[in-house]
A = this chain, B = another copy of it.
Amino acid sequence: MSNIVTNFNSRTVEYEQLLTNFKELLKKNSLKFTIQREVILETLYNSNEHLTPESLHALIKKKFPELKTGIATIYRTLSLLEDSDMVTSLSFGASGKKYELGAKKHHDHMICTTCGDITEFVDEQIEKRQRNIANDLGFEMSDHSMQIYGICKNCQIK
């Protein structure tokens, strides 16, 4: 798969770092670094969207048809990545479970109920307030997520 290797040359430092972390994680758990796992990580990294196992599978099939990656491997790898906190899953109403790389900076989501588009944002004021609330309730906060639902600019115009 020389074209995968070539691809790496154009990767950002950020991706190289991510890949290194992943390899370390695997090594630490005596797991193996396989082309499938690499392709999944890469595809997640290159996608700006939040992917379902299904859509990840479709993307990979399209980009690396010769790999014949099975959906089971996608599920297995996503679980692995999620367990290791390298990806985060979100689930919205009917649209199922979606995954995104968790290595990115923390952010919240604004979801358009018309077109399903997801916009990310961060607000330090809210972040701070969340920490305070958890504290007040005696909660040892490990994570949090926030979603705002509504109709995005584009869909309002239509």
Contacts and interface: CB of A to CB of B under 8 A. Distances in A.
Interface of A: 89, 91-93, 97, 110, 112-113, 119, 121, 123, 125-126, 129-130, 133-134, 137-153, 156
A141 B137 contact: no
25 contacts: A89-B93, A91-B91, A91-B92, A91-B97, A110-B134, A119-B137, A121-B133, A121-B137, A125-B125, A126-B129, A126-B133, A133-B148, A134-B150, A138-B152, A138-B153, A139-B151, A140-B151, A141-B150, A142-B150, A143-B150, A144-B146, A144-B147, A144-B149, A145-B146, A145-B149
Nearest to A133: B123
Given A93-B89, A126-B129, A156 B140 contact: yes
Contacts of A141: 148-150
Given A91-B91, A93-B89, A123-B133, A147 B148 contact: no
A75 to B, nearest CB: 13
Interface residues of A, dominant DSSP: strand
Given A138-B153, A138-B156, A145-B149, 8 more contacts: A91-B91, A110-B133, A110-B139, A133-B148, A138-B152, A140-B156, A143-B148, A143-B150
